[in-house]
C-alpha cells in the first residue's frame, strides 16, 4: 500500500512538473510575441481607428522590445525607454525617467495597442524592416519611378544602419557620388545632412555612371540624388518622418545648387520635402511661381507660341489662340505631340492627357510635369537663350 501511494504521489508530482513546464513554455511563447519592432500607424479613439496623416508627428514611430526586457519608442514629442514585463494578457512598459507606465496588448500576433498616454490608444504593426537588410531606394519621381533594392551586409552588428552607410550604398548602386561631410542629429529622429563638395550633387565630373542610372541633364540627376537619399533614410529609420531631414553644404550653410536651372536654395528653417512638393508649390526650378493674379491676365499677353530648349530636349508651341495650342515635346525621356487646353481660370496653365504645362512670364520659360508630378524639364525660349 505504501509503495502504491508512493507511485501515485510520484505520478502526481511528474504531472505537476509537466504542467508547470507546459505553462512556462506557453508563457515564454506568449512573452515572445512582443519582441521585435512595431511601427505605429494609427490611433484608436471614441471606438474608431484613424490613420495618421502624412505630417502627423507619430507617423513612422517605432517601438522596439528586446529579449533583456528593455524597450525604446516614441509617442507625440516624447521618447520612451525603460523595461517591460508581462502581466496576464497585457504588458507594462515602465519608463523610470517619467515615472509613468504604458500598457500594451497584442492581437493575432500582428497588431499592437499601446495605451496610457493621454486619451488615445496607439495602434501599430510589426515593422517590415529586416535585421541585417538595408533597403536602398532610388527615386526618379512619382510612385512608378521609385524602386527598392534590399542589400544584406555580412558585418551587420544589429544596431541599424547609419546615414553614412546608406549614402555609401547608394554610391555603389548608382555610380553617382553621394559623399557626405557631416550628419548631425536634430530633434527626436531627424538629421542635418551636409553634402560634400566632391559629391556628384555639385557636378558629375569624370565619374562613370552605372548603366541603369544614366542621366543626360544635371537637373534630373540632382533631384534624383536628393530624393533617393531622403527616401532611403525614411525607409531604414522609420522614426524619421518626412519633416525630419534637412540638407546643408560645407560650412554649415543652407544647401544651394547653383547648377540647377535656375539655382535652388534649400533653407535650414525648412526640411527637405521631396521634389514633388517643390514642383507642386513652385515652378519646378526653385522659383516661386509668378506672384500674379490669374484673373488679371489677358490671355493675349501670354506669348506661349515659340521654340523652347533645354539640356534634355526641345518644346515647340504653335497655333496659340488664347484657349489652346499645338505642341511637340521631344526629349530623352519621351516624344509627344497634341493640342493642349488652357485652364479657363489661369492662362498660365495648360494640360494635355498626362502632361501639365506652366508658363513663367518673368523669363518666358515653360515647365513640364506629368500627372504624377514627374519633372519633364524647364524649357527656355530660344529667343531669350544665352549663347
- pLDDT of 26: 43
In a domain, 360, yes or no: yes
Do 63 and 196 belong to one domain? no
In a domain, 339, yes or no: yes
User: pTM of the prediction?
Assistant: 0.46
Do 271 and 165 belong to one domain? yes
In a domain, 26, yes or no: no
Do 50 and 181 belong to one domain? no
Do 349 and 248 belong to one domain? no
In a domain, 200, yes or no: yes
- pLDDT of 132: 65
In a domain, 94, yes or no: yes
User: What is the domain count for the chain?
Assistant: 3
CATH number at residue 112: 2.40.128.280
- pLDDT of 160: 62
Do 143 and 252 belong to one domain? yes
Query: What's the domain range around 62?
Result: 32-126
Do 246 and 111 belong to one domain? no
- pLDDT of 195: 94
In a domain, 386, yes or no: no
Do 147 and 264 belong to one domain? yes
Do 220 and 270 belong to one domain? yes
In a domain, 324, yes or no: yes
Of the three residues 246, 281, 316, the one that is the final residue of a domain is: 281
Do 163 and 262 belong to one domain? yes
- List, run by run, the mean pLDDT of 10-residue segments along the chain (387 residues): 42 43 44 78 80 53 81 70 86 78 87 87 74 81 77 57 87 90 80 91 75 82 92 83 82 86 78 77 44 68 84 85 88 80 86 86 78 73 59
Do 142 and 231 belong to one domain? yes
In a domain, 4, yes or no: no
Of the three residues 253, 281, 309, the one that is the final residue of a domain is: 281
Of the three residues 109, 126, 143, the one that is the final residue of a domain is: 126
As a three-state string, the secondary structure of the chain is CHHHHHHHHHHHHHHHHHHHHHHHHHHHHHHHCCCEEEEEEEEEECCEEEECCCCCCCCCCEEEECCCCEEEEEECCEEEEEEEEEECCEEEEEECCCCEEEEEEEECCCEEEEEEECCEEEEEEECCCCCCEEEEEEECCCHHHEEEEEEECCCCCCCCCCHHHHHHHHHHHHCCCCCEEEEEEECCCEEEEEECCCCHHHCCCCCCCCHHHCCCCHHHHHHHHHHHHHHHHHHHCCCCCCCCEEEEECCCEEEEECCCCCCEEECCCCCCCCHHHHHHHCCCCCCCCCCCCHHHCCHHHCCCCEEEEECCEEEEEECCCCCEEEEEEEECCCEEEEEEEEECCEEEEEEECCEEEEEECCCCEEEEEECCCCEEEEEEECCCCCC
Do 115 and 138 belong to one domain? no
Do 169 and 268 belong to one domain? yes
Amino acid at each position: 500500500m505504501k509503495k502504491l501511494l508512493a507511485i501515485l504521489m510520484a505520478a502526481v508530482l511528474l504531472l505537476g512538473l509537466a504542467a508547470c513546464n507546459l505553462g512556462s513554455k506557453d508563457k515564454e511563447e506568449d512573452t515572445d510575441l512582443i519582441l521585435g519592432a512595431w511601427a505605429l500607424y494609427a490611433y484608436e479613439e471614441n471606438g474608431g481607428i484613424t490613420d495618421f496623416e502624412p505630417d502627423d508627428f507619430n507617423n513612422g514611430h517605432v517601438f522596439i522590445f528586446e529579449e533583456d526586457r528593455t524597450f525604446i519608442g516614441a509617442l507625440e514629442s516624447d521618447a520612451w525607454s525603460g523595461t517591460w514585463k508581462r502581466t496576464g494578457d497585457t504588458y507594462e512598459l515602465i519608463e523610470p525617467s517619467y515615472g509613468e507606465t504604458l500598457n500594451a496588448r497584442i492581437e493575432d500576433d500582428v497588431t499592437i495597442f499601446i495605451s496610457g498616454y493621454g486619451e488615445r490608444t496607439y495602434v501599430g504593426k510589426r515593422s517590415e524592416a529586416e535585421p541585417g537588410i538595408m533597403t536602398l531606394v532610388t527615386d526618379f519621381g512619382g510612385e512608378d519611378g521609385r524602386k527598392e533594392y534590399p542589400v544584406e551586409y555580412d558585418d551587420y552588428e544589429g544596431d541599424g544602419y547609419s546615414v553614412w552607410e546608406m549614402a555609401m550604398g547608394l554610391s555603389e548602386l548608382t555610380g553617382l557620388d553621394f559623399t557626405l561631410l557631416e550628419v548631425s542629429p536634430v530633434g527626436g529622429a531627424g538629421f542635418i545632412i551636409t553634402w560634400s563638395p566632391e559629391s556628384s550633387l555639385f557636378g558629375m565630373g569624370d565619374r562613370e555612371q552605372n548603366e541603369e542610372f544614366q542621366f543626360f541633364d544635371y537637373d534630373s540627376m540632382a533631384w534624383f540624388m536628393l530624393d533617393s537619399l531622403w527616401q532611403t533614410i525614411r525607409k531604414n529609420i522609420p522614426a524619421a518622418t518626412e519633416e525630419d531631414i534637412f540638407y546643408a553644404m560645407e560650412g554649415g550653410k543652407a544647401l544651394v545648387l547653383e547648377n540647377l536651372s535656375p539655382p535652388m536654395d534649400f533653407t535650414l528653417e525648412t526640411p527637405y520635402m521631396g521634389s514633388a512638393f517643390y514642383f507642386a508649390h513652385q515652378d519646378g526650378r526653385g522659383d516661386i511661381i509668378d506672384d500674379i493674379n490669374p484673373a488679371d491676365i489677358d490671355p493675349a499677353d501670354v506669348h506661349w507660341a515659340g521654340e523652347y530648349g533645354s539640356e534634355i530636349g526641345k518644346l515647340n508651341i504653335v497655333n496659340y489662340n488664347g484657349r489652346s495650342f499645338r505642341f511637340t515635346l521631344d526629349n530623352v525621356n519621351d516624344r509627344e505631340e497634341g493640342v493642349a487646353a488652357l485652364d479657363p481660370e489661369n492662362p498660365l496653365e495648360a494640360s494635355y492627357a498626362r502632361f501639365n504645362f506652366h508658363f513663367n512670364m518673368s523669363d518666358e520659360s515653360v515647365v513640364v510635369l506629368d500627372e504624377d508630378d514627374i519633372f519633364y524639364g524647364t524649357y527656355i525660349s530660344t529667343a531669350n537663350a544665352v549663347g
